[in-house]
Every structure is written in structure tokens, then in C-alpha cells.
Structure 1
Amino acid sequence: MAVAETVGLDPIMAFGLVGVVGVGAQWLAWRLRLPAIVIMLAAGLIVGPATGLLNPGLEFGDLLGPLIALAVAVILFEGGFTLDLHRLGDAKSGVARLVFIGAPLGWLLSTLALVYGAGLGWEAASVFGGIMVVTGPTVIAPLLRTAKLSRRPARLLQWEAIVNDPIGALAAVLAFEVVVTLRSNLSMGEAIWHLVLGIVFAAVAGGIVGYAIAWTFRRGRVPEFMKVPVLFATLLATYAVTNSMLHESGLLAVTVMGLVIGNADLPSYEELRRFKEHATVLLVSGVFILLAANIQVDQLAALDWHAALFVVLVVMVARPLTVFISLIGSGLARNERILIALTGPRGVVLVAVAGLFGQRLVDLGVADGARIGPLAFVLVLVTVIVHGFTLAPLARKLGLANTDKPGLLIVGGSRFTTALAEVLMKAEVPVLITDPNHAHLIRPRAAGVKTFYGDILGESAEDSLELMAYTTLLAATDNDAYNTLVATDLAPELGRDKVWQVPRVKDERERHALPTQLGGRRFGAGRTLEGWEDLLAQGWVFRTTRLTEEYGLVEWREKRPDAAPVLVVSAKGDLRFVTDPESMKAETGTRIFSLLPAKALEEETVKRSKAAEKPSGQPGPAAPIP
């Protein structure tokens, strides 16, 4: 790899470059449907050692370490904040085993892999082995969305990654303090006392601060517009104070703080969650670009076959052994254990913490510390690529993946939604109808449609439904306010372009108009649920038409001028409701789901009968596929 001459940037320009490259890499990964960390790694190497455009050590100097440390603290706080203990469900036992048994066992096996595979000394291997307990929640989440795993193995992998993030950092702290002790004049007893004191203080401090924040927020002692700033400032202060007691113990403190706040059932939870998600995306992008750009080419060039052996031992030996031993007697099915054992991608926290401790080991006189950073990058790169491309096929092979076909989640049982669900089922499109009113589900159940009785926004829905199987949502209850609530709440999760609702009765009245950020997208040229129900009562029936080269959209409009198109499914399976029939676009292979009046159906039947009566060799007019 050719290396360009390093040119120092102005710090402000460097910050701007890091932001643009980091966020741009995440956006590109989303467009290409690739793991974001791979694109960020490549981008960081390009702007760093490959071109010399960015040299973090030169531009930021002594501030680089503290910047990365603070960013990692926020990322770990996000992990604790996300860990809602009420939502673990049937994965709780497996998560506990992977944490209390798997973390120490993984630490031991990873250390052995580093010593006998990578050739590291015991000091550097024990520190890096602790860090390797981390499996990367920022990487696991997008992989799970892509693979569409069944609920229990998906939760197990997700929560294992979240909980083990701070545990891995703490393990590295323990090992590092032992190394410091062995190289200092402190007695082992004194070192252990300081270590235990720092850990207890960090955990207690994090818990107290978290409880205090939850108490003040719940009682309105902080105004809404200041909750996020207060939370962020308190987070940084908590990290700084506890970290002064024991190096990196602040990571444990902020994780405990996030765990307490996340389980406090605060009314403002959603606003806080969305902020920390946005902040985490920015920080993950920035940290990874900085770390990748700071890698030295000679360090990467120094990696040899030992690095490859190390990765193989971790992926094929250490991870499977850790999972299989930890989950003995857990009650998990064999295929679930196999999937979890063969899935362990590492992410940005591993690289960030490894970079911090690698440099500190070097400063302490441990020469092998310089190899920790490059080995971390190699491990992250290989595991993300391997699991990114194998998780979905492996899950399907083991019968633990939902269908690849995009599905429709319908909120509201009625004659219209049941008829739509029936025609989608015939077209092999996954569909589910939910409703908090049991009586509204009688019709869809009688029609054989998959249903869920309960509130789609409640915890029971998250615990009982495989929501990853449904990419599009339609809110179509007889309550316009509830439809708007559902669409508004789920839009950030599914994407606003994937959330639809039937037009409100008073949508066209200026006095009752809602802001654009509330509710879902409307369809059907303003026809309300009552309007659709009236069409069905008049004898209108759903029909499906697949467009071909010979029978395209123009021909469909000519043959069915009275049709009321409701939904189109592209050749790739993407679902889109029809907002305006006049401007509707559809390509070859698209299926159009529309309502036809009884008169049009009678005319179609007559035409087909006449076409069937024609002599052989005289084909009738092209007819749409029913």
C-alpha cells in the first residue's frame, strides 16, 4: 500500500472531515445494505494511512485519547440504557449464562488464542482477551435486521452484546491493573484493595446518579427542553469522577447509570432513547474513523500468519466452546445454540477500548501492546464480513429465520383489511392483522388470516410477535386518533416511507389538519376506512393483476377503468400503497391489488367465456392474471 506524505489539517477541518466521512460511510452502507463497520473501516484507512489526508495523532494531539474515551463512555451508556430487563422474555436465562459463565470463559479462551495463535505475551494477551468478551451491539443490530432471525436467538445475541460491552471493558481494566501491579512497588494486597474499592465505587455511583436522574425527571424537576442536556452533562461528569478513582471504571459507572435510567419507566423515555441513538451513530462514526485513520501502515504490514491463526482460533474454537459450555442445561434448542455459537461479530467498542489499552501498555513498557490495535482491526474486519454474509443463510438453514418476503402488518380488523389480507395471502405475501378489540378479529380469524389480539404498542406485542418479518405497516382501525398514534410511534422503527394509515375523516378540513410529522402516509386518494367498507358492501371484490411486457400499466388502465387500486407489490417484493391512482407507476413484474365493481367483474367473466369459446388458433384478448 502506497502511503502519501502526511499533511496536518486544521483541527476544525479535521473534525469536519471525520464527521463527513463517518456519517457518509454509514449512509453508503445503508444504501448498499452492507455492515456499516466495514465501510467505515475502509473509509478510515483511505483518509488515514493510505492518503495521509487525516492524521488524528497530529491534528488532535493529546486530546485524541480523551475524545475517544468520552465517546466510548457515551456508547456504553447507550448500551445500558437500551437494556430493558422487562423485554428479555424467554431469553433471560440464556443471557444470564452467556454473561456469568460465558464472559469469564471467553476471556480465558481468547487469552489462550492470543498467546498460542497470535504469539502475544501473557500481559498483553490477558488485557486484550478481556476486551474480546465484547461482541458488538452496534454491529449485531443491523445484522439481525438483515437476517430476520427468530425472536429468541435474536434477543439472546442482542442482549449478550449489550451486557458484555461494559464487562469486556471491566475485564480489560482488571487485567491492566494486575499488569501495573506486577510492574510497580505495590503489594498484591494493596492493588486488589484499590481495585475492588474502585469497582464498588463506580457501580454504586452509577446507580445513585441514575436513580437521581430518574427521580428528578419523573417529578418534573427538570423541564422537557433541558432533559437531554442535563442527562448528557451528568453522564460526562459521572464518567470523569469515577474514572479518576480507577482507570476506565467510568465505563462501568455510566453503563450502570444507563441501566437504571432505562428501566425507570420514564414518560420521556422515547425522546431520550432517540437522542442517544442519534448521538451514538455520530460517535460510533467518529470514533471508528479516528481509530482507523490512526493505524500505522508498518503495524498492519507486521501482521503475519499468526494473525490469521488467531482469528481462526477465535471464530472456530473460542466462541463455539464458550457458547456451548455456557448454554448447557439452558433449554435452548440445538439449532439455536449452533447459530449463537457461530455468530460473534466484534465492533467499534472492541476497537476503541483495544486502542486505548494498547497505547497504555506500550507506555508501561509492554512492547506487545502495539500489536493489539492492528489485531483488533483484523478481528473486527473478518468477523463482520464473515457473519454479515453467512448469518442469514445459516439462520435459514437451521430454520431460525423468518421469510425473506417483505410482509404487511395491519393494525385494525375489519371487512376491508380482512379482504386485503386474504388476497395478499393468496399472493404469498406475509400478512398479520392486530387489534386491541377482540370482536374485530372474528372476521379475519374465520378467513384464516394470522392475527394478534392486543395493543401493537404494548410490550406483549414485542414479546409475542416476530415483527422483523413485516417491513410495511398499515394503521386502519375505526379510530383515527389511534391510527395516528400507531403510525407516529412506529415510523422511526420501520421508516416513515413504510408506515401508512387510512385517511382521517376530517383530513381535508383545515381546522383539523395535523402536522406532517404526525401519522403515516395516506393512500386511496382520500378514501376513508368507511369509504372502502362501502365499496365492499356494494359488491366490489379484490383482484390481483401481474403486469407483463404485453400487458402493462397502460393496458391495465384501459381494461379496468373503474378499478380502485389499493396496493402494488414490485417484482422485488416491496410493498407500496397507491396514493393517487392517476399518477400511479408500475413496472413489469409488479402486482396490482385493486378493488373492482360487480359490473366490471361480470364483463370480465363474459369476455373470458367468449375467449374460451373461440376456435383453436384464434387467441382471445390478453387477460390479467387473477
Structure 2
Amino acid sequence: MVTEVTGLSPMEAFAIVGVAGVGAQWLAWRFRMPGIVLMLAAGLLLGPVTGIFVPEDVLGPLLEPLISLAVALILFEGGLTLNFRELHDAKAAVRHLVYIGAPLGWALSALALNLVAGLQWEAAIVFGGIMIVTGPTVIAPLLRQARLRTRPAQTLQWEAIVNDPLGALAAVLALLVVLVRYENLGQTEAFLTLIVGVGFALGLGLAAGWGIVRAFRRNLVPEYMKVPLLFVTVLGVFTGANSVLNESGLMTVTVMGLLIANADLPSYTEIHRFKETATILLVSGVFILLGANFRFETLAMLDWRAVAFVLSVIFVVRPLTVFISLTGTGMPWQEKFLIGFTGPRGVVLVAVSGIFAERLLHEGIQDGALLVPLAFVLVVATVVLHGFTLAPMARWLGLTSGDRPGLIIVGGSQFATGLAKALEKADVRVLIADPNRVHLRSARSEGVPCYDGDILSDAAELSVEFIAYTTLLAASDNDAYNTLVATDLAPDLGREAIWQVTRHKEDLARHALPSQLGGRAINGNRTLSQYLDLLAQGWTFRTTRLTEAYTIEQWRAARPEAIALAVVERGKVVFVSDGARLEPRPGSRIIALMPSDAGLQSEPTDEEGREIPLAETMPAVASVAAASARDVLSGR
């Protein structure tokens, strides 16, 4: 029997929620597991399993408003991701899933609730509206883990974000219909209540977003106050909209975020990144609170109908809704199948269903008591199922960016081309990007994929499938540009995955930069010009595969002059920061730069554990001249 631990203070409760939530997300990242699954498990372990932390007992009346405000901030951050310039080729699919999928999903969900779960129509239409929501807070970590291609990933993410407030509004509309019947409200009064509430919510969101944009553009708010101002504004407009029409504040904060996202503010990137970090904390907290506050006794209210209902939602309602909605979009069946199978529910479904369940019970509709356990079971089932099956299914359907490691080299040069060809021998996907097309001649002549443009531009967001690349090397001939690229992309790829060739005069104190700027240094701290000098002297790139029989010690002994640049192992490319501490495992591949006469005598094949000479990967003068001539003749 579980014995509840009493006497916990609110401060201790917040500490427990923070440690458990962030700890669960870290464990999920460390062991490559779905984060939502571990957060729910942590909440259940703290609450109903051990009784260490029961939110309702510790926080009391503060629990519901805390969850509501957290959901509002989460949806606002979701609105900030609705940048129309990034939608690209998923626009038609998202439009169909919103215009057709939302009402169709509402109708089919209500039908399943009535016919399969056995709920009376009043509760079915209310809960069916909430079920439109597919959970952006759940979709985002699943997409990061599965590494889907751009179009299906964008479609799932945008559908979840847009339908989140629509689902809550659909439930509000259904609830008003129920109140008309049970409270004898006139149809005119109910209709006016809905119109006034929705209109006020939309107007408030637009006005608040417009005001924020105007204030930021006119520099009426200092940089250090922008994020705090956004926080208090979100809380204010959410509360104000809800005071007119319950749960309409969800739409208000989403509209406000959408307007700010598309206003092209100079500080938008920093705002979005901070909000993204805050959202991770809020999602962790909400899932821990909901899991810890759950009671296993409520599951006793469910029977076999609940299991049949969950199965019907996953395997009938969701696929049918998606396939009907996406008819005529020209989307391949593989993408339709994946999207139709992927419909995890999250925070909003559980939080809003709890609020509406109380309203239904207050009106004497007993089936309202089933909404919370049904919502919880549906969330757990979909999160666990999709958390463990999305990535394998995407690979089976050929909709992932692949398990190959990916590297972006910023800056076209013979060094970049030679390194790219060597990495390709190690089965690494490489893209060379440079704003100057002339710098890409050697790469194009060797067949290396190129991006002719600024890697930081909006056009790059549409043209480059960033999800396929996990590492970046800034190696252009402009030190300032290298530092800018490394600093700007570090929050997206992770600072440990950002590398940069050494800047000129970096060893001088007056030229040194703070550690938070730029990327990590490669073994030897050489500048681009120093690498190019070595290539001019005849040095070449080599790829060596280590085995149990051919170890790193043997490789070092045979090639004392070799400069180890990168190691490819376990599907990841990592540049070498200290050659003396290099300890790659058997099966790894070392990419190194060495003199042309090193180790060329009777070398066996790569599969036998030695290097493949890659002198042929360096573009000869004739091939570069030929590429230049072709460019001139073609007018490029």
C-alpha cells in the first residue's frame, strides 16, 4: 500500500517538478528514448506509485491556474513557430488538414466516443472537439528524434500548432450547445456569447501582437526587457480573453505569437530561442504535474470499451481523417500513411478535458467523469506507441534524412573540396555552402553537393534540408563570417557540433573573442591559408579505417607527420580537437591530411583496415581551369 508523504512545501514541490522534468528529458536524450514517455513515467512514479508528491494536496487551488498558464505560454511559443515563409511545400497539406481535417476529425471522434466508448452525445461532442488537438509539445521531440524529411515534418508540426487552439474552441462551441439545452439559454443568447467571445479573443490577440511589434520596431523596449514583456503580455491577454469566454485565451496567445513570428523583427531569433527553452521547462513541469496528480482509481471507471475506443482512434479515426483530408494534395502515399498513423495527444488534451469535465458534471451529465481517464489513457497510448514506432516506420517508408552522418562546410575552397571527398569515402553526407559562386568551382567539378548562397538566409531555410546535417565546419576565407555562422547556428545544432578554422591573429590578446562566440578549434589550430599552403606543397587527404588488427597506435607509428582532422564512428562525424588524446574505436574511420609520399607503398584496400590514397580527390589545376572555362562560357 502506498503511503503518501505529507508536509511538502510548495517550494519543495517546485524543486521536485523541475528536477524530475528536466532529468527525464536529459535521460531521454542520453538514451535516445521518447522524452514524453519518461516524463509521464516520472510523474506517475512520484504521485500515484510512491505518493512522494501529490500536486493537488500540496498546491491546492493553485494547481489548475498553474497548468492553464503553462499551456498558454506553450501555445504562444507554438505560435512563434508559425512563420509562413518556412511552410514552403507543406502549405497545401496543412491547409487541408485544418479546413477539412479539423471538422472531419471532430465528427469522427464524437462518433467513436458515442458508438465505441459509450458516451452520451453531450459528452461526446465536447470531448470530440478537444480530440482535434494532436499535441505540438509531443510532436516536436518526436520529430527531432525521428529526423523526418522536411515536408512530412512541417505538416505534422503545423497541423498540431494550428489545431491546438481550434480544438479548444470546438470544445467551447460544443459546450455552449450543451448549456443551451441544460440551462435553457436561448439560441440567440448562446450565439451572441460565442461570437462576442471569439471576436474579443481574436481582436485582443491581434492588438497585443501589433502593439508588441510596433514597440520593438521603434526601440521603445530595451533588449533586456523584451522577453519579460512578452511573458506578462501573454499572461494578461490569456486571462483577459478567458474572462469573456472560457478557454478562448488559447486562441488569443496563438494569434499573438503568429503575428510576431511573421513581423520580421530583428530580435525575433533570440526571442524564439529563449521561449523555446522556457517551453521545454514548462512542458516538463506540466507533464510531471499531470502524471503525479493522476489516480489509478479513476481507471476503474473504464472497461473494455475504453481499449476499443483508443484502438479505433489510432487505427480508424486518425488515418481516415488524414487520407480524406489530403486527397488532391499530390502528396505521396508514404507521407499520407506516416501522417495518418502519427497523432499523439499531449498536454492540452488532458488539461482542457479536466476543465470541461467539471462543467459537464456540474450540469448533471455523468459521463463527464469519464473524460479525464479517457484523455489520460489516450495520451499515454499514443505517446508510447508513436514514441517508439515513428522513427522505425519513417525509415521503413524512406521518409527520414537517413542514418548517415551529415556535415555542412561553410566556405568553398580546395581544402573544403578535398575534405568533403575524403568524408564521402567514409559515407558522410557533405554540403559545401558559399555566398560566392566562384569559390564553389572546385567542389562542383568534383561532384560535391553545393549551396550557392548564404547559409544564414531565409532562402537556405527553404533549400537546405538542415535536419540531414548534424555537424558544421565554418571554413571560409572570412574570419568574421565564420564566427557569425558558428555563433548563429550553435543553438540549433548544439555548440559541441560547431567547428571553425582558426582565425588569423587569434593568439593575440586584442584579437581574442569570448568563448561563447565562434566554433570549436580543430587539432593544430591552423588557419585556412595554412591548410591551403599544405595542399600546395602536395599534402593529400586520406581516409583510414581502423580494425581490431589495425589500431590507432599502429596508424600513428606509420604516419608520424599525419594531421588527424576528423573521426567518423557510430553514425557521427566529430572533428579532432587534440590529436594526442585521439582514441577512436575499431571500425572508426580517420580523416587526415598528410604528405603525398606517406604510406603509399603497396597499401591494401580500405576494407582491410588501411587508408585509401585520396590524391585523386583534390582537383587538379587542369580540372579547376576547365570548370572555370565552363562557367565563363555558360555565363555564370
Matched with 2:313 is: 314
- Offset of 1:124 from its aligned partner? 1.8
Matched with 2:172 is: 173
Matched with 2:380 is: 381
Residues 4, 50 of structure 1: 8 Å contact kept: no
Provide the C-alpha distance between the structure 2 equivalents of 1:261 and 1:226, rounded to a whole number of angstroms: 16
Residues 428, 573 of structure 2: 8 Å contact kept: no
* 1:243-286 deviation line (CA, Å, top 9, x unaligned): 11111111111111111111111111012111211111111111
Provide the C-alpha distance between the structure 2 equivalents of 1:63 and 1:190, rounded to a whole number of angstroms: 32
Matched with 1:598 is: 596
Matched with 1:619 is: none
* 1:144-182 deviation line (CA, Å, top 9, x unaligned): 222222211111111111111111111111112222232
Provide the C-alpha distance between the structure 1 equivalents of 2:32 and 2:426, rounded to a whole number of angstroms: 26
Matched with 1:283 is: 282
Provide the C-alpha distance between the structure 1 equivalents of 2:376 and 2:219, rounded to a whole number of angstroms: 45
Matched with 1:552 is: 551
The structure-2 alpha-carbon separation of the partners of 1:161 and 1:18, relative to structure 1 and needing over 3 Å to count, comes to same
SS at match of 1:329: coil
Provide the C-alpha distance between the structure 2 equivalents of 1:9 and 1:123, rounded to a whole number of angstroms: 40
Provide the C-alpha distance between the structure 2 equivalents of 1:151 and 1:111, rounded to a whole number of angstroms: 32
Residues 79, 165 of structure 1: 8 Å contact kept: no
Alignment of 1:74-473 (within 5 A): 74-473=73-472
SS at match of 2:36: helix
Identity of aligned residues (%): 60
- Offset of 1:6 from its aligned partner? 5.5
SS at match of 2:520: coil
Alignment of 1:499-510 (within 5 A): 499-510=498-509
- Offset of 1:389 from its aligned partner? 2.3
Provide the C-alpha distance between the structure 1 equivalents of 2:17 and 2:462, rounded to a whole number of angstroms: 39
Question: How many pairs were matched up?
Answer: 610
TM-score by length of 2: 0.93
SS at match of 1:506: coil
Does the alignment pair 1:581 with 2:567? no
Matched with 2:610 is: 624
Provide the C-alpha distance between the structure 2 equivalents of 1:246 and 1:431, rounded to a whole number of angstroms: 53
Residues 35, 139 of structure 1: 8 Å contact kept: no
Alignment of 1:509-588 (within 5 A): 509-570=508-569, 572-588=570-586
Matched with 1:616 is: none
* 1:68-115 deviation line (CA, Å, top 9, x unaligned): 111111111111111001111111111111011100111111111111
Matched with 1:23 is: 22
Residues 40, 288 of structure 1: 8 Å contact kept: yes
- Offset of 1:8 from its aligned partner? 4.6
Tell me the amino acid that sits aligned with residue 516 of structure 2: Q
Provide the C-alpha distance between the structure 2 equivalents of 1:189 and 1:29, rounded to a whole number of angstroms: 51
- Offset of 1:320 from its aligned partner? 0.9
Provide the C-alpha distance between the structure 1 equivalents of 2:243 and 2:135, rounded to a whole number of angstroms: 26
SS at match of 1:15: helix
- Offset of 1:623 from its aligned partner? 6.9
Provide the C-alpha distance between the structure 1 equivalents of 2:460 and 2:551, rounded to a whole number of angstroms: 40
Residues 407, 471 of structure 1: 8 Å contact kept: yes
The structure-2 alpha-carbon separation of the partners of 1:172 and 1:34, relative to structure 1 and needing over 3 Å to count, comes to same
Residues 8, 58 of structure 1: 8 Å contact kept: no
- Offset of 1:506 from its aligned partner? 1.9
Tell me the amino acid that sits aligned with residue 134 of structure 2: T
Provide the C-alpha distance between the structure 2 equivalents of 1:30 and 1:169, rounded to a whole number of angstroms: 31
* 1:119-151 deviation line (CA, Å, top 9, x unaligned): 222222211111111111122122222222221
Provide the C-alpha distance between the structure 2 equivalents of 1:210 and 1:470, rounded to a whole number of angstroms: 34
Tell me the amino acid that sits aligned with residue 388 of structure 2: F
Residues 434, 453 of structure 1: 8 Å contact kept: yes
Provide the C-alpha distance between the structure 1 equivalents of 2:362 and 2:490, rounded to a whole number of angstroms: 49
Residues 560, 600 of structure 1: 8 Å contact kept: yes
Residues 426, 568 of structure 2: 8 Å contact kept: no
- Offset of 1:551 from its aligned partner? 1.7
Residues 8, 54 of structure 1: 8 Å contact kept: no
Tell me the amino acid that sits aligned with residue 587 of structure 1: R
Provide the C-alpha distance between the structure 2 equivalents of 1:455 and 1:528, rounded to a whole number of angstroms: 21
Residues 10, 59 of structure 2: 8 Å contact kept: yes
Matched with 2:69 is: 70
Provide the C-alpha distance between the structure 2 equivalents of 1:201 and 1:282, rounded to a whole number of angstroms: 30
Provide the C-alpha distance between the structure 2 equivalents of 1:373 and 1:483, rounded to a whole number of angstroms: 52
Residues 544, 609 of structure 2: 8 Å contact kept: no
Residues 416, 533 of structure 1: 8 Å contact kept: yes
Gaps of 5+ in 2: 613-636
- Offset of 1:387 from its aligned partner? 1.7
The structure-2 alpha-carbon separation of the partners of 1:192 and 1:623, relative to structure 1 and needing over 3 Å to count, comes to closer
Residues 34, 388 of structure 2: 8 Å contact kept: no
Provide the C-alpha distance between the structure 2 equivalents of 1:79 and 1:409, rounded to a whole number of angstroms: 28
- Offset of 1:598 from its aligned partner? 2.1
SS at match of 1:373: helix
Residues 37, 387 of structure 2: 8 Å contact kept: no
Matched with 2:45 is: 46
* 1:385-413 deviation line (CA, Å, top 9, x unaligned): 22222222322332222221111111111
Provide the C-alpha distance between the structure 2 equivalents of 1:53 and 1:357, rounded to a whole number of angstroms: 28
- Offset of 1:4 from its aligned partner? 2.9
* 1:436-471 deviation line (CA, Å, top 9, x unaligned): 111111111110111111111111111112211111
Tell me the amino acid that sits aligned with residue 35 of structure 1: P
* Bigger mean CA offset, 94-103 vs 325-334: 325-334
SS at match of 1:101: helix
SS at match of 1:65: helix
* 1:275-319 deviation line (CA, Å, top 9, x unaligned): 211111111111111111111121123332211111111111111
